[in-house]
A and B are shown apart, each in its own frame.
Chain A
């Protein structure tokens, strides 16, 4: 069973809406991630937080805004999205970032549809 919990499981939003995806882990991991996944494709890294600080932003458009309120929580704020942003958004965590042998654990994902 995954120990990375994501809410909501499904989200439909208009292009002018503001919404947020939430993620929580209680494994004591210090690194948390957001990935975007299109159908039948591998996940694509968006952001990495390490010790609550943004470490990696893979040139993600500013309409996606991550936030890490504490070591267990990770949010992804969404605003003025485009239909092509519709995808499965996966949160993940790992013990650390930049450590040899890092293993990444994924949540169940949030299905986002932009209309």
Chain B
């Protein structure tokens, strides 16, 4: 069965520090992978997506993610975190075009 795991429920980083949020998936075929961000009181905003090709994907707001098939991972990174990045981050897997699985989310706190 398809699933998405975000091992870190909550992460705290200092402003200006680098960030990596982990995402592992379980899917038999080539997955379509997404990262969404949800700021407090807001809807979900698409940060980036991976369908095929270059395994390093650039997104909005300075985020990038790397697809590693051997590790079934799609980790999100940012070299320098800003206070406005504090939010909930969801990894998601799309399968067969009509199934969409969200991870449980990682809550990011940014301290000055």
A20 at the binding interface (Cβ < 8 Å): no
Q: Which residue of B is nearest A91, CB measured?
A: B43
Query: From residue A53, how far is it (CB to closest CB) to chain B in Å?
Result: 14
Interface residue B111 (Cβ < 8 Å from any Cβ of A): no
Binds B, one of A11-19, A40-48, A65-73, A76-84: A40-48
**Contact code string B94-108 (vs A, CB < 8 Å = 1, else 0):** 101110101111010
Q: How far is the CA of A92 from the CA of B102 in the complex (A)?
A: 14
- Please give, as numbers and ranges, the residues of chain A lying within 8 Å of B34 by CB-CB distance: 103
Q: Are A45 and B100 in contact (CB under 8 A)?
A: yes
Is A107 in contact with B43, judged by CB distance below 8 angstroms?
A: yes
On chain A, the residues within 8 Å of B97 by CB distance are 96-102
**How many A residues, CB 8 Å from partner?**
27
A104 interface contact, C-beta 8 A: yes
Interface residues of B (CB under 8 A from A): 32, 34, 36, 41-46, 49, 51, 88, 90, 94, 96-98, 100, 102-105, 107
Q: What are 24 A-B pairs with beta-carbon distances under 8 A?
A: A2-B43, A6-B43, A40-B105, A40-B107, A45-B100, A48-B98, A90-B43, A90-B44, A96-B97, A97-B98, A98-B96, A98-B98, A101-B32, A101-B51, A101-B94, A102-B32, A103-B34, A103-B94, A104-B100, A106-B43, A107-B43, A108-B42, A109-B42, A111-B41
* With A2-B43, A102-B97, A111-B41 already in contact, 15 other A-B pairs whose C-beta atoms are closer than 8 Å: A40-B105, A41-B105, A42-B103, A43-B90, A43-B102, A56-B98, A100-B96, A101-B94, A101-B97, A102-B32, A102-B98, A103-B34, A103-B94, A104-B94, A104-B100
